[in-house]
Chain A
Amino acid sequence: MWKYVLKRIGYAVITLFVLVTLTFFTMQLLPGDPFTGEKKVPEEVLQSIKAKYGLDKPVFEQYVMYMGNCLHGDLGDSMVTRRPVTTLLLGSFSVSFDLGMRALLFAFIGGVLLGIVAAVKRGTPWDTVTMIVALVGVSVPSFIVASVLQLFLGLQLPRATGIKLFPVTGWDGFASTVLPTFAMGFGSLATISRLMRTSMLDVLGSDYIKTARAKGISNKRIIWKHAVRNAVMPVVTVLGPITAGILTGGFVVENIFAIPGMGKYFVQSVQQTDYFLISGTTILYGGLLIVCNLAVDLVYGFIDPRVKLGKEEA
């Protein structure tokens, strides 16, 4: 297994390298540069700013310099805020990570529970209600959920009752995390619950469950001990990409609640042609995606003993 993990890490490094290289050269094709704006600055001023970031050198030389710095953990300075990209990303990532973990837990636990309920109570109003919730979750985009929550729970509720439960903006204290967590996790919760329901139904109809029932094992025990463990596999599979997406922050939700996360950098860096920030966000997101997928593969092994990691290589 360790051999397998090492091999995967090796691939990950190569993937990252290719990713950064491609990003570095393609972003040179973006029109304009970080310093084009509405107002022109004199040529000599522009030159000295460019020289400060090494942009006066040939692209290939810039690339070699950048890669060298990357190996030392230096991702360069943002050309817009002039702060180091690593500081910028780590600071905002910690916020996005915090929000993301909450949203992920909410989505996973809520989604799995809803899925189980819907499957076990199949055909009853329980099933209908949970699946309507799931349908709403899948089809309503997060920015609408966020705005609606902000309007009704943040603004109208205190106006009507005088009780202020949730602040409308900011990231300070538990109360401020509730609405964003819900807005952020709701879509994934819906996806997970639908997936869980289907897979649970599949499992419940399988032979070994019938055998268990025939042996007189209690329904509760069948569901929790025998069915869920198998049914959760497909959910774990989608968890990898969902995690990477949620952890790096939802641009829209963070924007609406004014949360200082990193979601905005994905958009801003490109809009402002902030070269080092573009490649910085790419490295972080790419790296995270690779780590998440690896983690999911490893988790398989624990949940399903039949999955033997690295067997084909051994």
Chain B
Amino acid sequence: MKLKKVLALVLALALVCTAFAACGSEPANNGSSAPANSSGAASTPADSSAAEPSTGAVSYPGTPGDDEITINFGQEEKLNTLTMTYSHCFSLLKHIMVNLVQLDENDNVIPGVATEWTVSEDGLNYSFKLRNDMKWTNGEPVTANDFTYAWERLLAPETGGNYAYFAYIFKNGQKYNKGECTADELGFKAVSDYELEVTLESPTPYALFTFAFGSLAPVNQKFYEEVGADNYMTEAQYFNTNGAFNLTEWVHDDHITLEKNADFVDADKVSLNKINCKMIKDSAAALAAFQAGELDVATLNAQGREVIEAEGYPMLHYSDGGEFHLLFNNENPVLKNANIRKALSLAFDREAFIAAIAKGSNEPATSFTTGVNGVNGNPFRDDVAAEYGTLFEKNAKPEEAKAAWEQGLKELNMTSEEAAKQISINTGDSDDAVTQGAFMQEQFRTNLGIEIDVHSMATKAQSDARDNGDYAIDFTAWGPDYNDPMTFLDMWVTGGGNNSVKYSNPDYDALIAEAGSTADLQKRQENFLKCEKMIADECPIAPVYWRMRDYVVSEKINDGFWRTTFTDYNFTYTTLK
């Protein structure tokens, strides 16, 4: 009898364990859950206005209703401006909230609550004039205090805001977050209800861009204190916003409804009455919903792209600023050698990788940085190409790769087998990740003649290994936080928080440090270009591809929306046919 009870207990436990173990594969990423705000301005407006349907056999008329659209929000995440972190959430926010300044369809800064502003010569002081006719949902006027209050809350340690460090651009921002100074020492002040003064920690060319970022959205103090920090923006009734739409319904994990805000200052420019945001996580399900007329927009994965291509329905694309690269652990006994790293990079066929694995409109990465503009307002990666041509080859160069490999072996005084044994590739455990690992293995086998092991592991285990430097080669991505090459290039400074390859070069550090402090924008650009060259020469990493997103819109939608690097989607001013 006793044995039976023990057995029953063990069985119950085993059942629970199987329930957890049952599903290992990740749901397909439908495009909007890249960590952090992705940003950049590589997409052209032509991308979004090219929504003319072809005269092909297939037609997707879209959802019913002539003044509303239905889009896919994807996975539910928190929407509190002070704690949220996902780009698809920041995009939703742009429909309901207006920041001090905002981004237009080319990711350029345009007025928001602030109508005009001046910047001091040293680039440290900003003074903003705010419009006086804007109202919150609760009827309160939008004033300068709403910004200073929001920024103070963002920086307050008890808020636990993941993106508090975006407010480190303000003077004493970091000190306040660490609890080392008081709120009145912070670098912002409401001079009057409609005048705001800001002092920065150091000259920051992309400061205005940061003011448009969702984490720095205003918060109405009265409302925030009424509902409490824990409730704020967690249910529909706890939203108090100032944008073109109001969030009127939030059925968790199912849908969010945005309804036109009749009191919005630019309400006459908004022609939609309603935006329904469904939460479909699975890309295949989202495509099926689009095809069945339940969605007006669907982001496509590789399979979805093939379906739409076969049907001949027009597809749209945008660059989300994602850059995928191989990380080489620079402290690995073999990978510490630059020639070895270079050999691996040369042995990797980027075009073949896109054709076989990444698919879609993705582009081979011929340099590192993407999605952000250089000093002249052109895409920085074009500046790099103009200066140096192709820094990373699109196709594998087996001969050059072997030469570099031999050179590296000589310097390390090792045989090829000995070296290969020290190297392995870490990948995730999704189907895609496992295929990627196999592809890399095959590349190095064919083009270098070496055998490398692949270790497939859960995503968290993979990032843990990366953080602890417990890996040799890893495959990962980066996306820009703001429209400036710095968001990519400062990653590889000695001791940098995201420098998981542990690359260290005093010259590189000096170039970045100088770029961070100088007010000479041309000098900055020169330094950034030199950094790109240095990455190509020493290969602390090997860029693989720049991501492009493919998506479709229904024939119901006419124009007025955009999807760019720094705006996952914005349908505020969409017009219908």
Instruction: Say whether B460 faces chain A, with CB atoms less than 8 Å apart.
Output: yes
Instruction: Say whether A69 faces chain B, with CB atoms less than 8 Å apart.
Output: no
User: Which one of A27-35, A107-115, A128-136, A204-212 contacts B?
Assistant: A27-35
The smallest C-beta distance from A7 to any residue of chain B, in angstroms, reads: 11
The answer to whether B279 and A289 have CB atoms under 8 Å apart is: no
The answer to whether A44 and B461 have CB atoms under 8 Å apart is: no
Within A6-60, the residues touching B (CB, 8 Å) are: 11, 15, 18-19, 22-23, 30-32, 35-42, 44-45, 47-49, 51-52
Instruction: Say whether B77 faces chain A, with CB atoms less than 8 Å apart.
Output: yes
A18 to B5, CA, bound (A): 14
Instruction: Say whether A171 faces chain B, with CB atoms less than 8 Å apart.
Output: yes
A167 to B285, CA, bound (A): 11
From the candidates A169, A270, A273, name the one contacting B280 in the complex (CB within 8 A): A169
A267 to B24, CA, bound (A): 7
Instruction: Say whether B7 faces chain A, with CB atoms less than 8 Å apart.
Output: no
A167 to B290, CA, bound (A): 11
The answer to whether A39 and B464 have CB atoms under 8 Å apart is: no
From the candidates B12, B161, B177, B481, name the one contacting A289 in the complex (CB within 8 A): B12
A170 to B22, CA, bound (A): 24
The 0/1 profile, CB within 8 Å of A marked 1, for residues 1-43 of chain B is 1000100010011011001101100110000000110000000
A170 to B70, CA, bound (A): 13
The answer to whether A168 and B285 have CB atoms under 8 Å apart is: yes
A286 to B10, CA, bound (A): 12
The answer to whether B281 and A258 have CB atoms under 8 Å apart is: yes
Most buried by A among B164, B168, B288: B288
Instruction: Say whether A158 faces chain B, with CB atoms less than 8 Å apart.
Output: yes
The smallest C-beta distance from A11 to any residue of chain B, in angstroms, reads: 7
A168 to B286, CA, bound (A): 9
Known contacts A39-B36, A52-B160: A270-B20 contact under CB 8 Å: yes
The smallest C-beta distance from B274 to any residue of chain A, in angstroms, reads: 16
A91 to B481, CA, bound (A): 34
Known contacts A40-B498, A81-B77: A260-B15 contact under CB 8 Å: no
The answer to whether A169 and B5 have CB atoms under 8 Å apart is: no
Known contacts A35-B162, A80-B77, A260-B254: A241-B234 contact under CB 8 Å: no
Instruction: Specify which chain B residues have a CB less than 8 angstroms from the CB of A39 in the assembled complex.
Output: 35-36, 481, 498
The answer to whether B467 and A255 have CB atoms under 8 Å apart is: no
The answer to whether A32 and B460 have CB atoms under 8 Å apart is: yes
The 0/1 profile, CB within 8 Å of A marked 1, for residues 535-564 of chain B is 000000000000000000000000000000
The answer to whether B178 and A255 have CB atoms under 8 Å apart is: no
The answer to whether A45 and B279 have CB atoms under 8 Å apart is: no
Instruction: Say whether B463 faces chain A, with CB atoms less than 8 Å apart.
Output: yes
The answer to whether B463 and A11 have CB atoms under 8 Å apart is: no
* Secondary structure type dominating chain A contacts: helix
The 0/1 profile, CB within 8 Å of B marked 1, for residues 164-177 of chain A is 10011111000000
User: Which one of A117-125, A147-155, A217-225, A302-310 contacts B?
Assistant: A147-155
Instruction: Specify which chain B residues have a CB less than 8 angstroms from the CB of A168 in the assembled complex.
Output: 285, 288-289, 291-292, 294
Instruction: Specify which chain A residues have a CB less than 8 angstroms from the CB of B161 in the assembled complex.
Output: 45
Instruction: Specify which chain A residues have a CB less than 8 angstroms from the CB of B288 in the assembled complex.
Output: 150-151, 154-155, 168-169
The answer to whether A256 and B251 have CB atoms under 8 Å apart is: no
The smallest C-beta distance from A312 to any residue of chain B, in angstroms, reads: 8
Q: Which residue of B lies closest to A30 (CB)?
A: B460
The answer to whether A81 and B76 have CB atoms under 8 Å apart is: yes
The smallest C-beta distance from A162 to any residue of chain B, in angstroms, reads: 12
A42 to B251, CA, bound (A): 34
The answer to whether B27 and A44 have CB atoms under 8 Å apart is: no
Known contacts A36-B464, A45-B162, A258-B279: A22-B477 contact under CB 8 Å: no
Known contacts A19-B16, A41-B162, A42-B165: A155-B35 contact under CB 8 Å: no
The 0/1 profile, CB within 8 Å of A marked 1, for residues 409-422 of chain B is 00000000000000
**Which residues of B line the A interface, CB within 8 A?**
1, 5, 9, 12-13, 15-16, 19-20, 22-23, 26-27, 35-36, 76-78, 80, 83, 85, 157-165, 168, 174, 177-178, 230, 234, 251-254, 278-282, 284-285, 288-289, 291-294, 458-461, 463-465, 467, 476-478, 481, 497-498
Rank and list the top 6 A-B pairs by shortest CB-CB distance, nearest first.
Answer: A260-B253, A32-B460, A40-B497, A48-B157, A31-B464, A52-B160
Question: Can you name 30 A-B pairs with beta carbons within 8 Å?
Answer: A32-B461, A36-B460, A40-B467, A44-B178, A45-B164, A45-B177, A48-B164, A51-B157, A52-B160, A81-B76, A81-B77, A82-B78, A91-B253, A92-B252, A150-B285, A150-B288, A155-B291, A158-B292, A164-B292, A164-B293, A168-B292, A170-B278, A256-B285, A258-B281, A258-B289, A266-B22, A267-B20, A273-B460, A289-B12, A289-B16
